[in-house]
Copies of this chain bind each other. A is one copy, B any other.
């Protein structure tokens, strides 16, 4: 019954949505509707992010689903591939009206948006309440994977009414709101307290939101694919299997392997399985936290990079000089940036989970369990057998450091100089074999640290995983560099402030105070210094700006300025003007 009702519901909601799609399409706006103005700052960043979240979650559900399209129930194995590809294009078109309703900026479109989002929301919630379990992977997986979709739809169902209400009450605030927005962009050139005011580009908001949803979806999949299985295996563990494990030497046992007398070994096996489960969950939690921390770091680094590029400091961001201008590659990278960020977050989480799980299992079974039970002491035995070797290495390193400090380095008042060269050469020669062994350890450390660093920073596109000479061969960093080019060249705050001033000059009926405040904004934008703006400097800048403004409006005053008087050429003009 549930599938039938589902199919009917989906078909019905689809019809409704289709009709509404047409209505909003023809809603007095000629041509196609823009989904979102990705390059311009808007107040509706949350709304756009929510629709993209729905889209990405649908993609996640789609990949594992057997019936990718709601139109085609029970597709066959051979045609499913084609339906899935079609679905990749169908879903964006399906959710398109949810986004387009907001960009029209008309009361009716907001109303349509309201109804549409409520309708979507009710259908999805109903589906999941009606039939919370599904046979896919884990019975609650389907429900849990739909949570981001439902949350995003709830956000939309609240956002559209808010837009509608605001369109009735606050029509007049539009202009001042726009100015406030410019304030937001402008103030980010000021220091830390205004950090939260910083307007992050819409594309970046999208990519980070998508990445967080991706982390949720991948972590959920990793969790439900493994943990219930381990639990089932643990619950179903029998003494026959334990005998096998004991015979393979995987489980320690004092008594000979007799199936009847295996109570203790059975408990050990269950304890091992429980440890595996704990390791898996711990490493998964660690991965999620690390990935989210790295995504936050991306935001901070992106803000610094944007600030540096706005101020023209290209070499602070890139290793080589770049021209910040749109190009074919830059546009393609800009288009796919959010998608790349999402995909990299997924992959990064997977890689981290594999590495951390192996490490935690190794740590548990070679350190913690041996310490608890006194069995499987392989690692401790190796350390015990090799302690003279480790001691030799440590002593050699310490001796070299001490000798370098007290024997080979002569400290004058300000600078250090090499001394006792003959002894230095002798020590270098004699310790060469031991240093090779130290070098092997350093090499292992190099391998471990570079692997860990790359795994942890995999989801960060603003960091290249390659050496600085070849860093643009990294596809992620390459995409990020080009993305930055488009963002900086197309939405520089000074350019925006200038455009707004032009808009206001063509519309002189605006309140006169606004123009003054805009002009004041200009002062702050034009200061490329990184030093915190002190009160005096601010006043000084304002005074200078007013002066320039006055001089522009009264050009005759220019000749009387102090600098003009002291300038030799101006002097000459003045003198020649005085002479006759």
Chain B residue nearest to A38 (CB atoms) is B425
Minimum C-beta distance from A352 to chain B (A): 12
Q: Is the CB of A344 within 8 A of B432?
A: no
Judged by a CB distance under 8 angstroms, whether A447 is at the interface is: yes
Chain B residue nearest to A103 (CB atoms) is B425
Q: Is the CB of B475 within 8 A of A392?
A: no
Q: Which of B89, B334, B409, B450 contacts A328 (CB 8 A)?
A: B409
Q: Which of B34, B91, B416, B490 contacts A418 (CB 8 A)?
A: B490
Chain B residue nearest to A459 (CB atoms) is B443
Minimum C-beta distance from A341 to chain B (A): 8
Judged by a CB distance under 8 angstroms, whether A120 is at the interface is: no
Minimum C-beta distance from A178 to chain B (A): 19
Minimum C-beta distance from A97 to chain B (A): 12
Judged by a CB distance under 8 angstroms, whether A515 is at the interface is: no
Judged by a CB distance under 8 angstroms, whether A3 is at the interface is: no
Q: Is the CB of A466 within 8 A of B440?
A: no
Q: Is the CB of B468 within 8 A of A471?
A: yes
In angstroms, Cα B328 to Cα A341, docked, is 44
In angstroms, Cα B489 to Cα A82, docked, is 67
Q: Is the CB of A401 within 8 A of B328?
A: yes
Q: Is the CB of A467 within 8 A of B476?
A: no
Once A88-B392, A438-B336, A466-B450 are accepted as A-B contacts, the answer to whether A96 and B429 lie under 8 Å apart by CB is yes
Number of copies: 2
Judged by a CB distance under 8 angstroms, whether A509 is at the interface is: no
Q: Which of B91, B99, B331, B340 contacts A424 (CB 8 A)?
A: B331
Q: Which of B32, B426, B431, B468 contacts A319 (CB 8 A)?
A: B468
Interface size in chain A (residues, C-beta < 8 A): 111
Q: Is the CB of B446 within 8 A of A457?
A: no
Contact partners of A443 in chain B: CB under 8 A? 340, 343-344, 346-348, 458, 475-476
Q: Is the CB of B439 within 8 A of A336?
A: yes
Interface residues as binary, A83-121 with B (CB distance below 8 Å gives 1, 0 otherwise): 011001101110010010000000000000000000000
Minimum C-beta distance from A210 to chain B (A): 8
Judged by a CB distance under 8 angstroms, whether A164 is at the interface is: no
Minimum C-beta distance from A254 to chain B (A): 27
In angstroms, Cα B397 to Cα A329, docked, is 11
Judged by a CB distance under 8 angstroms, whether A404 is at the interface is: yes
Minimum C-beta distance from A124 to chain B (A): 18
Judged by a CB distance under 8 angstroms, whether A405 is at the interface is: yes
Q: Which of B336, B415, B427, B457 contacts A435 (CB 8 A)?
A: B336
Minimum C-beta distance from A224 to chain B (A): 20
Contact partners of A417 in chain B: CB under 8 A? 326
Q: What 7 A-B pairs have minimum CB-CB distances, sorted nearest first?
A: A343-B439, A339-B435, A331-B404, A450-B465, A347-B443, A468-B468, A340-B439
**Sampled A-B contacts (11; CB under 8 Å):** A56-B436, A59-B436, A93-B430, A336-B435, A339-B436, A342-B439, A347-B444, A446-B476, A457-B467, A464-B468, A468-B468
